[in-house]
Structure 1
Amino acid sequence: MGTPKVLRRVNDGTSLLSHHLRALAAVDPAEILVVLGAGAHQAQSLIPEGVKTILNLDHAMAMGRSLQTGLRAVDPHSNVAVVTLVDLTDTPAEIYPRLIENATDGVLARCTWGSVPGHPVMFGRNWISRAIDACGGDSGAKRLFREASDSVTLIEGGDLLTPGANGPFDVDTPAQAAARGINLPERNDGRP
């Protein structure tokens, strides 16, 4: 992407990180954990008070390592961990209450968008250690969801999408970011 994704900005100037934190805060979770890797020092200023930050020193090892780092930091008394990705820019905030309605120690859940599996996902306490073990590379916990497919609760969110959308759009390249109106952060000297 040329710059850490958390520092990219949506059209109103809000960082992708702040954009997601606003949606999560509306759910009133017990605790929000943010896993930071590349650009962590710049992103620290975007973290509101009360949000716990976890530093993933192995961020070059891909998404799986970030997921492991975050899941290891979940309070052992929490019933569930809900995981979302900063580069899914148009995840409707209304999907989080739907997930939380299904929160139990034994839940393994994922959102579907018009029946297409996607993010966010939710791990009940009983699944967190298995999710940590299943993480690898850029696939995150896909292996766990595949192996435990009979145990997965699907939470449909297609009705929450804007007309014509088929799920939260994953922004992985500068061209995709530009197409979605996601910009580089402004530098201190005013240049992008």
Structure 2
Amino acid sequence: MTRTTATTHEGPAGAAAVAGLLLAAGGGRRLGGRPKALLEHRGRPLVEHAARILAEGGCAPRYVVLGAASEEVRARARLPGCVLLDNPAWADGMGSSLRAGLAALVPGDASAALVTLVDQPRVGAAAVARLLAAYRAGAGLVAASYDGERGHPVLFAREHWAGVARAATGDRGARDYLRAHAPELTLVECGDVADPGDVDTPDDLPLLG
């Protein structure tokens, strides 16, 4: 595990905030075309749970990138305090949603973006808070790890946004960027507080229980 710098970022009482960026555009192709944002979790659309986790973990503002069935998501989901973004190119893969979200953040004041995925219902606020703590301690490029394996959430200080956006293609998201910048990456173990399993197929639906 390495750190990018010894600089300490300001905490919540200081200047810029860490924005939460939730990627929730997926159409659930392997789920028979059921948009992931609308999967039921504890009686409500899954996107509500994922957005709440960002708030509880300490992220503000919060941006939610929608794609498949975006109008239905807007109509059914209660997402107070969130900025909702439509990604018309959602079918091109996660990379397009990541680019759309980062582009929306650029004009704002956030000093970093913490990115989560809507289809990981057992990654909760504790994991988000751990990444924010690492950022406040000086790490500018941070990822959760599970038994040493890199996963989500991931956090990018503002200086990384342009490079992440350039590298984000297809369904690879930030993987290529993180691999290229491995010496700068701080891994934060979250396996004791979170389960990184994602809901991709019908066999994964028990994760929503």
Q: Please give the range of the TM-score, normalised by the shorter of the 2 chains.
A: 0.7 to 0.9
1:129 aligns to what?
162
Conserved 8 A contact 2:38-2:45? yes
Task: Note the alpha carbon deviations across 1:68-123, whole angstroms, 9 max, x for none.
Answer: 11111114421100000001121022011111112269711100012111000000
What is the distance in 1 between the residues matched to 2:207 and 2:50?
16
Q: What amino acid is the match of 1:147?
A: A
1:92 aligns to what?
124
Structure 2 length as normaliser, TM-score? 0.78
Conserved 8 A contact 1:106-1:126? no
Structure 1 length as normaliser, TM-score? 0.85
RMSD over aligned Cα atoms: 1.7
1:115 to 139, 145, 148: 148
What is the distance in 2 between the residues matched to 1:170 and 1:110?
16
Conserved 8 A contact 2:65-2:100? yes
Conserved 8 A contact 1:79-1:103? no
Q: Once the 2 structures are TM-superposed, how far is the Cα of residue 17 of structure 1 from its aligned partner?
A: 0.4
Distance 1:30 1:148, change over 3 A: same
Query: What is the correspondence of 1:16-95 to structure 2 with a 5 Å cutoff?
Result: 16-45=46-75, 46-75=77-106, 76-95=108-127
What is the distance in 2 between the residues matched to 1:142 and 1:123?
12
Greater per-residue strand proportion:
2
Give 3-state SS (helix, strand or coil) of 1:54's partner. strand
Give 3-state SS (helix, strand or coil) of 2:122's partner. coil
2:6 aligns to what?
none
2:39 to 5, 8, 29: 8
| Unaligned residue ranges in structure 2 (runs of 5+) | 1-30
Q: What amino acid is the match of 2:95?
A: G
1:146 aligns to what?
179
Task: Note the alpha carbon deviations across 1:138-158, whole angstroms, 9 max, x for none.
Answer: 110100000000000111111
Conserved 8 A contact 1:110-1:121? yes
Q: Once the 2 structures are TM-superposed, how far is the Cα of residue 24 of structure 1 from its aligned partner?
A: 1.3
Aligned identity (percent) is 34
Task: Note the alpha carbon deviations across 1:30-56, whole angstroms, 9 max, x for none.
Answer: 200000000100111314232101110
Aligned length: 175
Q: What amino acid is the match of 1:122?
A: L
What is the distance in 2 between the residues matched to 1:77 and 1:18?
24
Q: Which shifted more, 84-93 or 98-107?
A: 98-107
What is the distance in 2 between the residues matched to 1:140 and 1:23?
21
| Unaligned residue ranges in structure 1 (runs of 5+) | 162-166, 183-192
Distance 1:106 1:74, change over 3 A: farther
What is the distance in 1 between the residues matched to 2:135 and 2:88?
30
- Choose between structure 1 and 2 for higher RCO, CA contacts under 8 A separated by at least 6 residues: 2
Structure 1 stretches of at least 4 aligned residues deviating more than 3 Å after TM superposition: none
Q: What amino acid is the match of 2:124?
A: P
2:193 to 147, 160, 163: 160
What is the distance in 1 between the residues matched to 2:162 and 2:139?
12
Q: What amino acid is the match of 2:163?
A: R
